[in-house]
Each structure stands twice: as C-alpha cells, then as structure tokens.
Amino acid sequence: QALRQISQRTISTASRRQIENRVPEHQKLFQEDNGLPVHLKGGAKDALLYRTTMVVTVFGTMYTIYHLIVSSMPKKQK
C-alpha cells in the first residue's frame, strides 16, 4: 500500500509541473545563417567538446600508427 501511495504521489506531482517549450528558441538558433557549422552553434560547450574530440582522435591515430610500426619491427635477438 505504501508503494501505491508513492507511485500515485509521483505521478500526480509530475503532472502539475509545467515545462516550458524551448524548441522554437533552439530551432531559431540552429537555423540562423551565421556561417558556423551546425555542430558548433551551441556555443562554448560545443566548441570545447569538438576540440576535445579532435585531440583524442588525433592522439589515438598517432598512438595506433606508432604501435603498428613498433609491432612490425622484429625484436633483437640476444
């Protein structure tokens, strides 16, 4: 019975809260022609995420190439 009360309370309080629809604001932001690619129109957070992704990608590519070169060389016999 306690579980029923909790679930009813959660459902009833969720319906009272009104969430503001901000979709038109975001549509306007992403559709304006300001010369930026769409993946950078979100601001500083998008730019930071993009740069971080590029750094990780370049580092991973260089690391992979390095290990491919090292593993292709025969080990020296003692």
Domains of the chain, residue spans: 37-72
The pLDDT score that the predictor gives to residue 26 is: 87
The pLDDT score that the predictor gives to residue 70 is: 93
- The answer to whether residues 41 and 30 touch, using CB atoms and an 8 Å cutoff, is yes
Name the CA radius of gyration of the chain, rounded: 26
The pLDDT averaged over each successive group of 10 residues in the chain (78 residues) is 61 63 89 88 92 97 97 84
The pLDDT score that the predictor gives to residue 7 is: 61
> How much is the pTM?
0.60
- The answer to whether residues 50 and 39 touch, using CB atoms and an 8 Å cutoff, is yes
